Amino acid sequence: MIISRALFAAGLVAISTGTATAEDVPACASFAWSVARERSAFGAPDLPVLASGSALPSEAGAAQLTLKPVAEIVLPFPSDKAVKPDTFAGFVTAKVTAAGTYQVTLSNEAWIDVSQDGRSSLKPAAHSGKVGCPEVRKSVRFALDVGTVTIEISRASSPQIKLDLLRAE
The answer to whether 131 and 137 have CB atoms below 8 angstroms apart is yes
104 has which bridge partners?
140, 165
Which three-class secondary structure state does DSSP give residue 151? strand
Task: Give the closest residue to 103 by CA, choosing from 145, 62, 142.
Answer: 142
CATH class of 35-167: mainly beta
The pLDDT tens digits for 3-51 are 444 333 344 333 333 433 445 578 899 999 999 999 999 999 989 999 9
Residues 107, 164: Cα–Cα separation, whole Å: 9
Distance (Å) of CA 3 to CA 14, 17, 82? 16, 21, 57
The pLDDT tens digits for 100-138 are 999 999 999 999 999 999 999 999 999 999 999 989 999
